Structures are given as C-alpha cells and as structure tokens.
Amino acid sequence: MKRQMQIYYDEEGDFLEITIDPKKGYMKNMGKGIFHRVDKKTGEVFGIAIFSFRKRAGKDKEIKIPLPIKV
C-alpha cells in the first residue's frame, strides 16, 4: 500500500504540520509547542505539529522531529 505524506506550513502563524496517511485523531501535547497527531482507534502517531517552526529552524540548523513513526 502506498503511503501519503502531507506537509502544511502557515507562514503568518509560523506553524508546520506533517502527517502520514491523515485520518481522524487527536493532538497530544509533547511540550514546548510540539504536538503529536495520534490515531483515535490505534494510538499510533501519524503526524506532528510544530509552533514557531521558522524561529526554531533558523538559517543553517538541522531540525530533528521527535516522531516515532513506522514507515
């Protein structure tokens, strides 16, 4: 089965969201403006949302996304 990744960035709000195979779920606060998107039925993490993304990224920094996801 092909998996689909969606990436959404709101420049004005400086908000990044990445999801894989989007479905119904809820947001789990991981702290410091980072949220996991979790499947309601299985508890599987299928996405991440990051507030103040550009501020965190800077110009030449590596961004590590804490998302335990199986691909």
pLDDT in tens, 22-69: 888 999 999 999 999 999 999 999 999 999 988 877 765 666 665 555
Unique residue bearing structure tokens 């894989």:
20
**Is pLDDT larger for residue 18 or for residue 2?**
18
Helix (H/G/I), strand (E/B), else coil: 36: strand
Span 6-20, mean pLDDT? 92
Q: What DSSP element (H or E) covers 7?
A: strand 5-10
